[in-house]
Structure 1
Amino acid sequence: MQRQKANPHMLPNGFSYQRRALSAQKSLDLFYHLQQNLNWQQPNTTVYGRTGPIPRLQCFISDNDIEYGYSHSKLVVEPWPAILLALRKRLEAHLQQPFNSLLVNYYRDGNDTMGWHSDDEIELGFQPTIVCISLGAERVLKLKHKASNKVTDLLLHSGSCLVMNGDSQRDYQHAIAKQTTLAHPRISLTFRYILPKRS
């Protein structure tokens, strides 16, 4: 399997990265606010027939009519805190793209992970736009091209913004691998638009 480190200015099609979307102080303040105030969950998930708790904590925030789940688990929906609603509106104005839900992942240290996956659930529609804001410890996001298995490593800095759109979810999987020597936590905010269920 080929591996390379990503130049943030030369990412694959469908990916764009801004290192300093939030200032260092704003990133730190938001990290501690969310760490202390969100209702963190650790749902069970089923992978390859085995069921157990996910290796991280989560909080799912959305508009009232939105439900979301994966790997046979439904996430408990939380209302929008004012600070995250304001960030959502800034992103919507900047990207000219609506968002109605937010999955927040809390990686307590380098042992917490996210396995290989694409955000290609049918509820996300065709060519979804996923925006990821990173706070706290730096972690490596791995991008794997589905056809070639080529893996690109992108270091996600605190306060950075990664946008995945176009054919990114069709053509690539992504993951956060273990970094066992890392003792510090990270929070990721992944904004998305989920299609409302038809009645």
Structure 2
Amino acid sequence: METMNHFLTSYQPLVASKEGRRAIEAYDLPPYVDYSCRREPDFESRYPSITAICRASKFAPRLREGDIAVYITKKGMYPGHPESHWRVTAALKVIRRFASHRDAAEWYERQGVALPSNCVVRENPPLDLDHTGGRPRNFRTDAQWDGAYRKRVRENPMLLACDALHLELDAPPVLTSECMLATFGKVPGTQTPPRITRSQYLALADRFS
């Protein structure tokens, strides 16, 4: 049997920016969803999805069925805690690995589930700007932003459908610097998401208890 891998990765939540907080207020959005026009990952899907639109070849291509990805926010000042910290938002277990977004779209449709926003197919447009945390400064238009995602999908076309083993989008557990050091002995970099041990995974998963 193939060995299950555990990974640690991070993302920018909607609540991290003033534009995102306006979107949360206006549309009653969960504060800890991803900020972008194509949520990466899409935590809100019945089968949360991971793609290469954010980290290109650094993460999604490495995942296989059975692997578990733990998602933490980027470090920041989030409501309800007085110091800069992370939040542990989700643990996603890969249940299906699709070679293309089109294959994934057909599978989601057969399940009777709406397409996740990071499934980049013609019939699935990006979210409107006012549902995001604001367009990154390096893109002058929304079309450029989505175009960059489409380019990454052409280069790394896989999509991973997941089960959420743990998921909290309203008030996820706090992860302090002290907890991070106790778990990992350092603050691990997540730009290229590292493998973590099972015991490290369980230490993070226990925070949902």
Asked if these proteins are the same fold (TM beyond 0.5), I'd say: no
Q: Which is richer in strand?
A: 1
- TM-score, structure 1 normalization: 0.29
Q: Which is richer in helix?
A: 2
